[in-house]
């Protein structure tokens, strides 16, 4: 058997086992890509659980994407000595992940992919009984593609990455006291995940940071719907009048990393970033 085909087979066969063990698509893909890069971070991976079901089970971007974006963000930090370039590389690599995922699923949103409203207990039960296998199958199929697209996205020469890149997600967690590593880890969330204009990346970054802290104090409890993440989500909805799409909150679709950087540096979403960081 060709070596590449053998490696792909191992990844596919292992993905479902990891998924069943971890119980969330987001932490599964965070783990799989971290393992590929050689840096497992169990605490960070577990904190991504609230992204399963599309951010607090609201049906937005699939948790596989959020988890993968966190992994390439962490790897971007390790590969770049310049902090701003690491932010730009993380956004660029996340765009590759989104392109790959969209090609396979035709949508990035959990609710459209699963045809399930996870906020409904009946719909959740129906999903677990009849539809869960679809997500397991999707994870097996996309895992090798996710690794390939992440690797390609991260292979960009540093000289080709903007030297002054900024991410709304990075700014939020910096205000929350995050380390440089954590700040770059969430960088790909920018502009609704890879500048795609979907559900707010700054919100997801704040949820991840809150869940990290909550998990340290409640290591034996589930982090899926922890109260601190819920408070952050509620505060977000109050300040945005329940609008969650980045392109509607910001009033624009970002054409490039430079475009997003200029927007943030000129005070774009400043009030939202402040509220999220202080909740």
Q: How confident is the prediction along the chain (279 residues), in pLDDT tens digits per residue? A: 343 444 444 455 689 999 999 999 999 999 999 999 999 999 999 999 999 999 999 999 999 999 999 999 999 999 998 999 999 999 999 999 999 999 999 999 999 999 998 888 888 888 888 888 999 999 999 999 999 999 999 998 766 777 889 999 999 999 999 999 999 999 999 999 999 999 999 999 999 999 999 999 988 788 887 999 999 999 999 999 999 999 999 999 999 999 999 999 999 999 999 999 998
- Return the structure tokens found at 131: 């539809």
* Contact call for residues 50 and 226 (beta carbons, < 8 A): yes
CA distances from 248 to 142, 166, 240, 244, 255 (A): 30, 20, 10, 8, 15
pLDDT at 226: 92
Q: Which has the closest alpha carbon to 263: 174, 154, 175, 171?
A: 171
Long-range contacts of 9-16 (CB under 8 A, 24+ apart): 11/143, 11/144, 11/147, 12/140, 12/141, 12/143, 12/144, 13/140, 15/139, 15/140, 15/143, 16/136, 16/139, 16/140
**SS3 for 227?**
helix
Q: What's the pLDDT at 46? A: 96
């Amino acid at each position: 058997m060709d070596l590449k085909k053998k490696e792909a087979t191992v990844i596919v066969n292992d993905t479902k086992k990891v998924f069943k063990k971890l119980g969330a698509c987001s932490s599964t893909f965070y783990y799989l890509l971290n393992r590929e890069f050689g840096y497992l971070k169990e605490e960070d991976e577990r904190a991504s659980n609230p992204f399963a079901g599309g951010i607090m089970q609201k049906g937005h971007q699939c948790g596989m994407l959020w988890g993968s974006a966190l992994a390439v963000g962490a790897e971007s930090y390790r590969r770049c000595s310049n902090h701003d370039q690491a932010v730009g590389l993380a956004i660029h690599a996340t765009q590759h992940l989104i392109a790959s995922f969209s090609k396979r699923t035709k949508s990035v949103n959990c609710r459209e992919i699963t045809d399930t409203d996870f906020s409904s207990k009946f719909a959740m039960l129906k999903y677990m009984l009849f539809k869960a296998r679809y997500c397991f199958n999707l994870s097996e199929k996309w895992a090798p593609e996710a690794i390939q697209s992440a690797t390609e996205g991260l292979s960009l020469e540093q000289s080709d990455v903007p030297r002054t890149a900024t991410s709304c997600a990075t700014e939020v967690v910096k205000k929350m006291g995050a380390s440089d590593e954590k700040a770059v880890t969430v960088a790909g969330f920018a502009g609704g995940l890879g500048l795609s204009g979907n559900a707010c990346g700054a919100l997801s970054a704040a949820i991840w940071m809150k869940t990290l802290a909550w998990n340290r104090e409640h290591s034996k409890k589930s982090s899926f719907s922890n109260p601190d993440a819920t408070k952050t989500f509620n505060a977000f909805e109050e300040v945005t009048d329940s609008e969650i799409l980045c392109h509607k909150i910001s009033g624009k679709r970002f054409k490039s990393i430079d475009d997003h950087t200029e927007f943030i540096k000129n005070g774009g979403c400043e009030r939202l970033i402040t509220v999220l960081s202080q909740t």
